[in-house]
Structure 1
Amino acid sequence: MKLRYIVYIIIALVVGYLVFNKIWGGNSKEAAGGKDGGGAGGGKEAKGGKGGAGKKGGPVSVKVMIVKDTTVINNIDVTGTIDANERVNLTSQTAGNITAIYFKEGQRVSKGQLLVKVYDQDLLASAQQLTYQAKLAKQVETRNKALYEKEAISLEEYETSQTGVNTLKAQADLIKAQVARTEIRAPFSGVIGLRNVSPGGYLSPQTSIATLVNMDPAKVTFSVPERYLSLIKPGSKITFTVAASGKQYPATVYAIEPAIDAASRSAVIRAEAPNPKNELTAGSFAKINLTLDQIPKTIMVPTEVVVPDLKSSIVYLVKNGLATPTPVKTDLRTDTKIQITEGLKPGDSLIVSAIIQMRAKVPVVVKGKNKK
């Protein structure tokens, strides 16, 4: 029994020693290591802190543009449609069988040229009959006039013969008009399109014969925003291109719609373009460049140098080797430049590079000048 207790006591002492040594021995090493490491680390940190405090960033290398006045032509680009000067769908005023067609598809025709003839033999026969009747009635009227002058017949009988002559003349004029309706003629000069009828076919007033188009001059129809309407007037010049050709065509504004479209807030404008070679086709899509006005003296700068601010826009100028933010007011924009109306003056050195690094009073060194 005693031996067993002695063993238990020895084991407990050993375990207690191990636990004590693990806890207190480890803490002592950590403390010692912390002391030594802390000193070394502190020395490094102090060294690093000294180096950071002693080194400053150098000036930013930038390019500048010397601000100057320039002439700006205020243009806008819009889209439009090429229209025919005159366009008509040819139809007949009378019904009947087609006896002849006098045009070829795609042919240029002149005003008044006969294009289609409809059967008119019955009308011609009626006209011939009226001619004979009118001739006889005229002879009767002439005799009655002589008799009336000799007081051989009454005035009433003479006037009756006169009425007969006039009635037959009116009927002849009616037949003549009906015969004219059997002839379909070109109402204006132009190019005739594809025909929809054939000789011998029955033609009614609802039948489309072909389309006649006059494309010289061509009409260019487009819309412009309401804000530009006061700058456009009849006589204003435009240029445009079409997909079928890279060539630029000139045109002159001749009419402006008096009312503004309430949905788009734009006005419809029509211009006239010479087209002697028929290079322009009705219905084509047109890209239009419209010259609104010319500003003889203003400042234009690259768009990317203008930085939006809370209240306005700013640009950076070089003054005494430092970047200086300067508020500006802008107006017109082009693809690459923007107009400055206030804030800059000729001779200012405008920073045009490294804009993202610019802040107030950042030191800068000019490495080059932008000539644009």
Structure 2
Amino acid sequence: MILPRLSKSALAASIGALVLFSSVGCGKKSAKNPGDGAAPGARAQPVEVVAIEKRDLVETLQLVGSLAPNETAQIRAEIAGQVREVLFDEGQPVKKGQILLRIDDSELRAQLAQAEARFELATQNLRRTEDLITQQFISQADADQTRSDYNAAKAELQLLRVRLDKMEIKAPFDGIAGARTVSPGDYVTASVTATPITTIDDLSRLKIEFQVPERYSLRVRHGTHFHVRARTPDGEDSANGEVYFASVIIDRATRSVQVKGYVDDAPVWFRPGMFVNVELELATRKGVLAVPEGAVLVTAGAGSQIVVVRERDGDKLADFVPVGLGMRTRGLVEITPLKEGVTAGMSVVASGVGALILYQDGKLDPRPLRKEFSIGGDAQ
């Protein structure tokens, strides 16, 4: 019995009926005319057919993940002080090196002036000492002390310049500024536990993070392709991507591995933190014969079969062909015919009109498979 795509329980019941009807039909016929097909003048059975395709089948794994920015940084002060100026707008683009905020540096500038004066004196003392030591008017110990004073003054000056530079907080990369948590006059601390001043997100490229069950972990590696889908105000948007990181550690709590990838040409509505569906490509079978899953019959005695439509003397006849089954994906199944003469392009029975009784060499009236039962999408 050939039916449209059904649930597993309905399909099992239909297959049982097919075996019974086919066995009874063939038995009666064999008793009358062993080896003959349909009785002369028998009415052709209407069936719906599809062509056997030679195509690439991709084994996929359906997962869920979250989008993330290419880079994200929480901006904190490295030196405590009072905020003097806030120089960025929330939600607006910023450039790498752009000054976001200035902290009051008047005390540091005073210390810098002192350090510059000490360094200038140390430089002059070193110059005089070098002249005296060439004339042997000074001991080596005194000369070494002068050089030490010069190096200490130089280091102190460099340290204060670095600290003064850190009083201007700058953007670490191009991105979008987040909400700010300070205003001019606020006091910021240098603690790592302090509230960030703002966040900078690089949205030039999106990443995705998801978990892969441990049974598939060895099949995911750098360069593995995936497809991302998400609901947006414009409907459903999608994009392709590629894995750049697959952890070698399996999480004991979830029994899965962490995987990250880059999303290519992300639609405008994709945002960091968004929930998305991920279709991960695990393997590809090149140039195999494929038919819809509904075209495969599974019987206890004959195993897996397809019903190929063959032409003889102007009639379309049913030919039950045993097949081996391979990869299944997107409603399609890979087949390996165990009988010669089955090639791509040949018609195979995929559905019928009402209850069908099919038997070997039975007459058929092939019709295109109805659109509502066709397999959508491209498995390539």
TM-score (norm 1): 0.70
Q: Alignment partner of 2:294: what SS?
A: helix
Q: Specify the code of the residue in structure 1 equivalent to 2:247.
A: E
**Which residue of 2 is the match for residue 331 of structure 1?**
326
Q: How does 1:131-280 map to 2 (within 5 A)?
A: 131-205=116-190, 206-224=194-212, 233-244=221-232, 246-259=236-249, 267-274=257-264, 280=270
Contact 1:216 / 1:274 at 8 angstroms: preserved in 2? Answer: no
Structure 1 CA distance for aligned equivalents of residues 189 and 285 of structure 2: 60
Looking at secondary structure, tell me which structure has more helix per residue: 1
Structure 1 residue 251 displacement after superposition: 2.6
- CA distance 1:280–1:149, shift in 2 (3 Å): same
Contact 2:231 / 2:237 at 8 angstroms: preserved in 1? Answer: no
Select between 197-206 and 353-362 the one with higher mean Cα deviation.
353-362
**Which residue of 2 is the match for residue 108 of structure 1?**
93
Q: How does 1:1-372 map to 2 (within 5 A)?
A: 61-63=45-47, 65=49, 68-74=52-58, 76=60, 77-205=62-190, 206-224=194-212, 233-244=221-232, 246-259=236-249, 267-274=257-264, 280-291=270-281, 294-310=284-300, 312-316=303-307, 327-343=322-338, 345-346=342-343, 350-354=348-352, 357=355, 361=359, 364-370=362-368
- CA distance 1:78–1:85, shift in 2 (3 Å): same
Structure 2 CA distance for aligned equivalents of residues 282 and 94 of structure 1: 30
1:189-243: CA deviation from partner (whole Å, max 9, x where unpaired):
2111011111110101223101111122211234456676676554454443332
1:155-205: CA deviation from partner (whole Å, max 9, x where unpaired):
222222222222222222222222223221111221110111111101012
Contact 1:226 / 1:260 at 8 angstroms: preserved in 2? Answer: yes
1:5-46: CA deviation from partner (whole Å, max 9, x where unpaired):
xxxxxxxxxxxxxxxxxxxxxxxxxxxxxxxxxxxxxxxxxx
Number of aligned positions between the proteins = 316
Q: Alignment partner of 1:197: what SS?
A: coil
Q: Alignment partner of 2:83: what SS?
A: strand
Structure 2 CA distance for aligned equivalents of residues 267 and 79 of structure 1: 13
Q: Specify the code of the residue in structure 2 equivalent to 1:213.
A: D
Where relative contact order (Cα < 8 A, 6+ residues apart) is larger, the structure is 2
Structure 1 residue 290 displacement after superposition: 4.5
Structure 2 CA distance for aligned equivalents of residues 292 and 217 of structure 1: 24
Contact 1:92 / 1:207 at 8 angstroms: preserved in 2? Answer: no
* Structure 1 unmatched ranges of 5 or more: 1-57
Select between 222-231 and 106-115 the one with higher mean Cα deviation.
222-231
Structure 2 CA distance for aligned equivalents of residues 110 and 194 of structure 1: 16
Backbone CA RMSD of aligned residues: 3.7
Give identity over the alignment, percent: 25
Give the greater-gyration-radius structure (CA): 1
TM-score (norm 2): 0.69
